[in-house]
Amino acid sequence: MAAFDSATLYARAPAILASATSISQQGSQGDVLAVIAAPDLDQQLVQTKAQLLQLEAAVRQAQANADLDVSPTANVASRRPRMVKRATGHNDR
């Protein structure tokens, strides 16, 4: 028996063949023929998910600040130290 059609595949990223169906094994439509593992892409995915979690936390913090009206720029003038002139007991003429 010969294949009806064939195709050459090229990887977009470094990867390894994690598992594959045996050549002698009969397959049906929809069966998984091979599983390809890409450790570099897996690591990139983990880092991107971690970054997403950090950004979502920052959004929640910003929303909480807006709800409480304690954003870093809110009412900055009232938080500045005030200069108070004290009497020194000397004549200030």
Residues in the chain, total: 93
Question: What's residue 20's pLDDT?
Answer: 83
- Assigned domain for 50 exists: yes
What pTM did the predictor assign?
A: 0.48
What DSSP letter does each residue of 47-85 carry, written as one string?
A: HHHHHHHHHHHHHHHHHHHHHHT--TTTTHHHHSPPP--
- Assigned domain for 26 exists: no
State yes or no: pLDDT of 50 exceeds 60.
Answer: yes
- Assigned domain for 69 exists: yes
Q: What pLDDT digit, counting tens, does each position of 55-79 carry?
A: 999 999 999 988 887 555 655 555 5
CA–CA dist 87, 90 (Å, integer): 8
**Structure tokens belonging to residue 3:** 């294949």
Band of pLDDT at residue 81, cut at 50, 70 and 90: low
- Assigned domain for 68 exists: yes
